[in-house]
Structure 1
């Protein structure tokens, strides 16, 4: 079964709006696991707009499922990985001021850089994943730089889903098959929701993991966190 990793950035955003510790990021992470999530994802950006550096150190000892830390692999990020030893480090090409991740890596242009970073992460014993689009050549290069997995950037799929879901998913299916043939694991994330998740799972049944934050937290405002996680798990269930 494809694992659900809950991205809790938005919980930290809500907390930071007022300061203090409400909602409590650590408690929410524990609850997500208790309600059935198989992973916790965070993206500690340098400006600490949501997840802070301290959050990383607070979460690392309490996450009992898979802890996934996303970020641009600069010296700060690598230090966080080394000191907190997550199950997975997901490398994203975000410049410091970007609002949210909005593109995948050019694994050919950044080949030497990624190869060096991944080598360092493997020495730490951390599984690596590269945030990437659907270009077949870039997927193939992701394998060549030594990554363990890719995370397919699914915003283009989500944005076109309502118009023509078959057309929207086609490049993702192709990219996933190329990745699988190259020995890469397949994750996916960005703008996945209850509206489009099941179809993606049906078309790429061998996905290892989906990372979902914004839509899931929005749904939780109406359905409650426990019920929402169960709804997402239902969409991922194999019949």
Structure 2
């Protein structure tokens, strides 16, 4: 019995890796990627519950753990993708909605998870992934369906710094004070923007109202005529910054 279970775990690892590469490295077509991350945890529920009811299947725990893992990875990736693309200024309501949606999803899978080995660990992981999924779903919807034009702020770059971790680097710009509530004077940015601006340059910060009234922002280089900018919400995460 160990052979088939081990083989199935190996095969189901591949979609998880592929999903992570797609979501984090090259999330295009963008809407298709976000839709896949949002719908996958819900789409596997019928199959998950069907496997849970099939008590005679020898490989049932392995398949259920694999499906739960795939759905959990999708939920976490949705939160990461949405958090990077739609950077929130207003957090409280997003956390409340995320908790509500996540709790509902976790409750739907909890009865079957409790039949598996290490059920408490599985339940804790599922709850964490479900909460991430719920938050990411709300943040993505708030940004994607935002049709209001942004308020554009210009800020001078006062400093640049790099924070080095054990395996990664984070890039920050210190900017002059703005009147954007909730935005500090040090903003994390991607390497592409970091290498294109220097101390004394100006960056533009697009402040968006959000479809759910959760303000979010995007920081980018300023164009010659910022007032002439048009905003296309569905493509905004991949515009030059």
Q: TM-score range by the shorter chain?
A: under 0.3
Q: Highest Rg: 1 or 2?
A: 2
Length-normalised TM-score, structure 1: 0.27
Structure with more of its chain in helix, by fraction: 2
Length-normalised TM-score, structure 2: 0.26
